[in-house]
Amino acid sequence: MPDAGLAERARIEQDPGMLGCLVTIVPALCAAQAATTPAPLSERYDKREVRIPMRDGAQLFTAIYTPRSTGGPWPILLRRTPYSVRPYGENEFPTTLGPSRELEESGYIFALQDVRGCYMSEGQFVDMRPHQVDKLGVAFDEASDAYDTVEWLTTQLDDDNGKVGMWGISYPGFYAATGMIDAHPALAAVSPQAPIADWYFDDFHHHGAFFLPHAFNFLAGFGRPRPLLTTERSFRFEHGTPDGYRFFLDLGPLSNANARYFKGQIATWNDMLAHPNYDEFWSSRNLLPHLRNVAPAVMTVGGWFDAEDLYGPLQIYRAIERQDPQAFNVLVMGPWPHGGWARDDGTRLGNVSFGGAQSAHYRAQIEFRFFEHFLKGSGEHGLAEANVFETGTNRWRSFDAWPPREAQRRTLYLRTGERLAGEAGDDESAFDEFTSDPREPVPYTQAIAIGMTREYMTDDQRFAERRADVLEYQSEVLDSAWTLAGPLAAELIVSTSREDADWIVKLIDVFPGDAPDPEGTPAGVRMGGYQMLVRSEVLRGRFRESYALPKPFVPLEPTRVRVELQDVLHTFAKGHRLMVQVQSTWFPLVDRNPQQWVDNIFEARESDFAAAQHRVWHSPGRASRLEFTVLP
């Protein structure tokens, strides 16, 4: 959430209930909540602050909140975070404690911990600290820190029931996921929410393409070193303009970031620029191979419109299914941006309405029941294998597997005349061509924003359709609804006049021209003809065969490029159309590819950036297409 500012992001991660009433929920709803607000936490909980020793001697600062009411012993809910457990001081209390008010009022001990090297915890902080398979002597990682914390809590507290749960959103979601590896026997239930799984595909890289404003804005604050224990850190970075497109275009080659702003002081930024390919630096930070012997119950949560971490939830769920089939392992995917289930009411994102307060449903009917069942033995959890929200129809659905077993494979081909059709064309020389100029890149949004907006993933794409450097392909008007469920991918046959190119593919729901405005549509917005972005992804072309071994294109030679998009559950209603857009710049969301070959794009010079002619082929032997599955 970089557009909220880094200090704001840290506060939101620490207090996920705050953003809803401050920003996104309508005033009437806030007033209704205020009328039912329970007594302050200081009247309902006792607080103590401790330093929990790890196996190497480092002590991690932990705030423990215990219910004052009778009814214990209580299970423990643990959240480990790099964003601070403020406020500090045993007489100082936050606004909220847990994942939800329902859990906060039900009776839990909450343990909130600054992770190693952050704020008041000792040690050195390492971004996405690599997992150590063999922990000899005092070797440690985030999994061992979680294990040692659970061990201390369950042996040193007097009023717990011996069961511990973990949760966290975003970076804390990563700590929940890594904390359940080789789980402590007392760790009974874990919910990684919007977790990072592999930073080469989550957050800052997508198939090798660099998500520029997200990385720059986050690391400009959070990436600065913490030399001493502290209760406060400054995350402010002054861009000098609200216009991110202009700021990052004026920045020029990414090597200018250190010269102008960072001065070599941000270690993770330096590491990213030094490792453009998927080498050991990145593979060591891939959590997925290590998800074995996890906690007995896992509920991974994500948002279909999470601009930061959509890859992580889907892949963590899949990895546990493969590697630890004995675990209770379920997936929840809702109509949310990053962490939206805890931060707003889930009624809409941008201009698109979801038909009601979906976040309240999740917190009361899914999350609450999960922890109550596995930590207290209270009631049935009622969860299916996959608990997923279907956009387009705006309804929750349950499946016994994800992707759904009954989904059937379909293909649509990119055809001459801007068409999507069920069969490939018959013209052997058919292609569409456009000029891609990195000096005048396609914007990723119409909004004036300094970073990556949450709303871009549902934005109207008509602004992009009108550009000459964006290709579009539309289906016929649908005579019945199509529900796409599961993975989708674009198989493109492309060529370029130079040696490198990015390939961006967008799947779009085109509304009829006379489409009504659903309840909840923002004032002044008209949905007639709206082109709703449903899913989008980018592949840096040099990585089309290997993320570790980049390879230039042979100029003008048709070449296969496969762009894997993330999963989807969306219904294209009767009377709508499917659209695919293809382009090669997406700025400043993705940094600019020079298109002339350089070994490391992060070291490119201004003179390396050049326009190129790109072709997308759709002849019988070179049939570019979209592959997906639909529910019958």
Residues 40 and 169 in one domain: yes
CA distance 69 to 85: 23
Domain that holds residue 34: 2-198+285-399
**Mean pLDDT across the stretch 91-110?**
95
Answer yes or no: are the C-beta atoms of 357 and 340 closer than 8 Å. no
Taking 60 as the threshold, does the pLDDT of residue 12 lie above it?
no
What stretch of H or E contains 273? helix 267-274
**Mean pLDDT across the stretch 436-443?**
98
pLDDT at 31: 37
**Mean pLDDT across the stretch 472-478?**
98
Q: What digits encode the pLDDT tens for the residues 485-527? A: 999 999 999 999 999 999 999 999 999 999 888 887 888 888 9
Q: Quick check: is 208 in a domain?
A: no
**Mean pLDDT across the stretch 621-631?**
96
105: left (phi over 0), alpha (psi -120 to 50) or beta: alpha
Residues 553 and 483 in one domain: yes
pLDDT at 544: 98
**Mean pLDDT across the stretch 561-573?**
97
Q: Quick check: is 246 in a domain?
A: no
Q: What digits encode the pLDDT tens for the residues 295-326? A: 999 999 999 999 999 999 999 999 999 999 99
CA distance 18 to 83: 15
Please say which residue of 369, 399, 429 terminates a domain: 399
**Mean pLDDT across the stretch 324-342?**
97
Residue 90: which of 42, 48, 45 has the closest Cα? 48
Residue 286: which of 316, 261, 328 has the closest Cα? 316
Residues 423 and 552 in one domain: yes
**Mean pLDDT across the stretch 5-11?**
39
Answer yes or no: are the C-beta atoms of 300 and 192 closer than 8 Å. yes
Q: Quick check: is 614 in a domain?
A: yes
Alpha-carbon dihedral sign for residues 596, 462, 570, 628: negative
CATH label of the domain that carries residue 483: 2.60.120.260
Taking 90 as the threshold, does the pLDDT of residue 425 lie above it?
no
| 32 band by pLDDT with thresholds 50, 70 and 90 | very low
Provide DSSP, 208-246.
Answer: TEEBHHHHHHHHHHHTS---S--S--------SSS-HHH
**Mean pLDDT across the stretch 563-580?**
97
Strands (DSSP E) along 461-558, which ranges?
470-474, 482-496, 502-510, 531-540
Residues 345 and 433 in one domain: no
CA distance 620 to 622: 6
Answer yes or no: are the C-beta atoms of 147 and 153 closer than 8 Å. no
Answer yes or no: are the C-beta atoms of 159 and 109 closer than 8 Å. yes
Residues 92 and 186 in one domain: yes
Residues 360 and 388 in one domain: yes
Residues 381 and 429 in one domain: no
Tokens found for residue 301:
């949560």
Query: Which residues in 66-96 are b (16+ Cβ under 10 Å) and which e?
Result: bbeeeeeebbbbbbbbbbbbbebeeeebbeb
| 36 band by pLDDT with thresholds 50, 70 and 90 | low
CATH label of the domain that carries residue 319: 3.40.50.1820
**Mean pLDDT across the stretch 222-234?**
92
The DSSP output letter for 590 is: B
Residues 555 and 443 in one domain: yes
Residues 25 and 107 in one domain: yes
Q: Quick check: is 21 in a domain?
A: yes
Three-state SS at 364 = helix
Please say which residue of 381, 399, 417 terminates a domain: 399
Residue 187 contacts by C-beta under 8 Å, 6 or more apart in sequence? 146, 150, 164, 165, 166, 179, 180, 295
Residues 366 and 443 in one domain: no
**Cα radius of gyration rounded to whole Å, the chain:** 24
pLDDT at 1: 38
Answer yes or no: are the C-beta atoms of 451 and 217 closer than 8 Å. yes
Q: Quick check: is 37 in a domain?
A: yes
**Mean pLDDT across the stretch 435-447?**
97
Please say which residue of 371, 399, 427 terminates a domain: 399
Q: Quick check: is 609 in a domain?
A: yes
Q: What digits encode the pLDDT tens for the residues 241-290? A: 999 999 999 999 999 999 999 999 999 999 999 999 999 999 999 999 99
Packed helices 212-222 and 267-274: angle between N→C axes, nearest 10 degrees: 150
pLDDT at 15: 38
Answer yes or no: are the C-beta atoms of 178 and 192 closer than 8 Å. no
Answer yes or no: are the C-beta atoms of 294 and 320 closer than 8 Å. yes
Taking 60 as the threshold, does the pLDDT of residue 599 lie above it?
yes
Q: Quick check: is 120 in a domain?
A: yes
Query: Which residues in 380-409 are b (16+ Cβ under 10 Å) and which e?
Result: ebebbbbbbbbbbebebbebeebbbeebee
**Is residue 514 classed exposed, middle or buried when 0-12, 13-18 and 19+ CB atoms within 10 A define those classes?**
exposed
**Mean pLDDT across the stretch 5-16?**
38
The DSSP output letter for 315 is: H
Q: How many domains does the chain have?
A: 2
**Mean pLDDT across the stretch 606-619?**
96
| 426 band by pLDDT with thresholds 50, 70 and 90 | confident
Q: Quick check: is 276 in a domain?
A: no
Answer yes or no: are the C-beta atoms of 114 and 25 closer than 8 Å. no
CA angle 494, 499, 502 (to 5 degrees): 55
Residues 389 and 425 in one domain: no
Locus of tokens 């214990």: 72
Residues 568 and 538 in one domain: yes
Residue 538: which of 400, 425, 454, 441 has the closest Cα? 441
